[in-house]
Amino acid sequence: MRKEIERIIQEGGVGIFPTDTLYGLVGSALNPKAVRRVYKLRKRNPKKPLIVLISSERDLSLFQVKPSAPVKQIIQKLWPGPISIILPCNEKKFKHLHRGTKTLAFRVPKDATLRRFLKRTGPLVAPSANPEGKKPAVTIAQAKRYFGNKIDFYKGSGKLDNPPSTIIEIKR
């Protein structure tokens, strides 16, 4: 099933997938069509950017994000882990992600299996699996009640009821 999910994501599909914190509604961060679909499914405020899950600090270069040496030191202390870090991203081609804020929040998950998955799929947007304003789904059954057959796959991992990631911005 893992290979099938990877293929679906690489082809622009979206689905429910366990992250290191909560179930996420995931899609390729590099595919504007997939990102638009995630916004539509979640009924998310179009002005709010999404967090991008990456496999390692090296993936920042895919977004032309080049942290300064002092910022890199901070990043290396916090990643991998449940900390999403807001960094400048002024590239027009990523407007589908930064929504005009010219910043993006990135996270390298602590879970090694998830990082290997991200290496194969590429960076993913992964907001919590719920329509905006509702509680995050903690089970696949709950996610199915929210999204039904409007998405391409569901990947369960039991009950996930962890706190969401902490979001920080480093200004240097």
The string of pLDDT tens digits covering residues 15-26 is: 999 988 889 999
**What is the CA 163 to chain-centroid distance, rounded?**
15
Contact 74, 49 (CB under 8 A): no
Q: What is the pLDDT of residue 130?
A: 95
Write down the residue that tokens 């480093």 correspond to: 170
For the record, the structure tokens of 62 come out as 């895919």
The string of pLDDT tens digits covering residues 74-104 is: 999 999 999 999 999 988 899 999 998 899 9
**What is the CA 161 to chain-centroid distance, rounded?**
17
Higher pLDDT, 57 or 165: 57
Contact 143, 127 (CB under 8 A): no
With H, G, I as helix, E, B as strand and everything else as coil, classify residue 156: coil
Q: Which of 172, 25, 170, 37 is nearest to 96 (CA)?
A: 37
Domain range spanning residue 143?
2-169
- Kindly report the backbone phi and psi dihedral angles of residue 86, in degrees, each rounded to the nearest multiple of 5, phi listed first: -85, 125
Positive or negative, the CA dihedral 131, 87, 66, 76 is negative
CATH for 19: 3.90.870.10
Q: What is the pLDDT of residue 171?
A: 73
Q: What is the pTM of this model?
A: 0.92
The four Cα atoms 160, 163, 116, 29 give a dihedral, to 10 degrees, of 110
Total domains in the fold of the chain: 1
pLDDT band at 172 (very low <50, low <70, confident <90, very high): low
